[in-house]
Chains A and B, each alone.
Chain A
């Protein structure tokens, strides 16, 4: 075999384990889901194979699903916004700090060492009826009865922000880190105040990182079902909870498949739009 042929083959050889895994664990199951979504669940509970559009018809026309999809996107949008507002200053602080940067980044990674579910459940010990906040408020005499703070949309968003903030900070941090620090000095020397030079120079240059972090936060929060399950009330279901409900509780795989493909289509469109305008490069930087 010639050297050129060998060099040409080498990347494929190196990629093959990953390609096999992605094919077997992602594309094949996804194909199953697509097929499932056209089957039909009969009244007896058996799945009838074939090509039926009933599930799609139900998923796309029932206002119940539409409303939950809209509220899911709203919760994801609010979560993303809160993460951006809270995460940007933190990322800026880490990027501009001298010396202890490694420690700060380690502290940012620390929550990942604990399961996401446990982190979410920890809010019950803080905000629950017998949680830390209520206990403290009763102890200092501000209230007599514990406040009902859990199980609403706000706590769902709180839990999501808690989960997703590090992703936002990391993405913005990577963008800020790649900006030459002398650009702000140059802007100041030309007559702009620190704040003006931030708005004119640093902020626009860090927007790709902010957008990448935003996309991650949005997609991950729109696809979550643990957080609303643990911290949400009965009316706070998000779209992924419907999929969970259909497949796990009702064992209705065909409907669950159609619903999950619907969510995939919405989020996929969002990712493709992002990719069209900004490209995937920044996202990869933030993840790596």
Chain B
């Protein structure tokens, strides 16, 4: 049974439709991420699951129970906010124990649960302190402890890492994943940060303008985007106009102006249904820049020039030109990157490409 199901959810704010006919199932015990740019409806969706806002249409069920008319305090959810939302006038221990007060837990049991929750977030010593005496990362751990101590049916995380600085954010996402794995709570995570989403999720829901663009495992979404939006939003992609000239169960043949004939595996082009206009998707890290005189290999080699270089230390991002076509490549480098204006050989493999139906 799914932990959470949304069926044809619509949310309108006045004349603005924030979420449009959204349906999805969130598996028990999994880590599901709602990913999208700001204003895509991901937070609105989370807040509807939480019961902080009511959907205009559609049904929400949690553990098989329809919750549309059940107020937030009876939904048994753990909620973690971007700004921590710890009660500043209560100690850390009182914060964590807050939800237990409403749950018929004896005082001794509550103390024990609080202690275990603080152990779990690796802050066993701070119970008597006030939240403002803790760092941002510690406050977020306490917020997490407060949300999980009540053993919620679903844990809802609303951009919990975005207020932390970059290094801490990476530590916290490993930590968060570890804790989630350990207690096995169904988790819905909202973020606009694609690397968080890819690193943490079992399942990714990519949203744009209130509509679900794609639902799938992170690798699947990354390698086989279902739409041009997903291809552009996750990572850096070259998206080229093409024509599908032939297709069968094993491959899709594209004719790409400026490049030629590319045979994309069928698995990477599940949405191509017939011949005609299409798009070729080539991830920037799958386009290799080689010296112009490098010996050929199994890849397609095309002559190009480097227009600009963005040096990033372990990698370089190249802005390239292949005839009239601008391309981007991100390559790991172990020596100096290619120079601007240099003539190079661009290498790509058809098995690394994906194809999308053209929306125009």
Interface, chain A (partner B; CB < 8 A): 180, 182-183, 185-194, 196, 200-201, 204-205
Contact = CB atoms under 8 A, between A and B. Distances in A.
B325 interface: no
- Range of interface residues on B (Cβ < 8 Å): 20 to 34
Interface stretch (B83-91, B207-215, B307-315): B83-91
A255 to B, nearest CB: 48
Interface in B34-74: 50, 52, 71-74
A105 B126 CA distance: 41
Contacts of A180: 83, 85
A191 to B, nearest CB: 3
Contacts of A183: 85, 87
A190 B97 CA distance: 10
Given A189-B50, A189-B73, A191-B103, 13 more contacts: A180-B83, A182-B83, A183-B87, A185-B79, A188-B71, A189-B72, A190-B99, A190-B146, A190-B147, A193-B73, A194-B73, A201-B89, A204-B89
Contacts of B79: 185-186, 189-190
A185 B85 contact: yes
B89 to A, nearest CB: 5
Contacts of A200: 87, 98
10 contacts: A185-B79, A187-B98, A188-B52, A188-B73, A189-B73, A189-B147, A190-B79, A192-B73, A192-B101, A200-B98
Contacts of A196: 102
A182 B103 CA distance: 21
B66 to A, nearest CB: 19
Given A180-B83, A182-B83, A189 B78 contact: yes
A74 B89 CA distance: 32
Contacts of B4: none
B210 to A, nearest CB: 21
B73 A191 contact: yes
Contacts of B72: 185, 188-189
B87 A190 contact: no
A191 B150 CA distance: 9
A191 B100 CA distance: 8
B287 interface: no
Contacts, number: 64
B162 to A, nearest CB: 14
Contacts of B99: 190-191
A12 to B, nearest CB: 34
B62 to A, nearest CB: 13
A165 B80 CA distance: 38
B73 A186 contact: no
A265 B146 CA distance: 49
A205 B89 contact: yes
Contacts of A191: 73-74, 76, 99, 101-103, 150
B73 A182 contact: no
B87 A201 contact: yes
By Cβ-Cβ distance, the 9 closest A-B pairs, closest first, are A190-B99, A191-B102, A189-B79, A186-B85, A182-B85, A188-B72, A182-B81, A188-B73, A191-B73
Contacts of B52: 185, 188
A189 B149 CA distance: 12
Contacts of A185: 50, 52, 72, 79, 81, 85
A187 B77 CA distance: 11
Nearest to A197: B73
- A188, A196, A204: residue with the most chain B Cβ atoms closer than 10 Å: A188
A183 B76 CA distance: 17
Given A180-B83, A182-B83, A189 B89 contact: no
Contacts of A190: 73, 79, 98-99, 102, 146-147, 150
Interface string B108-143: 000000000000000000000000000000000001
A124 B146 CA distance: 57
A187 B88 CA distance: 12
Contacts of B102: 190-192, 196
Which of A191, A192, A201 has its CB near the most chain B CB atoms (within 10 A)? A191
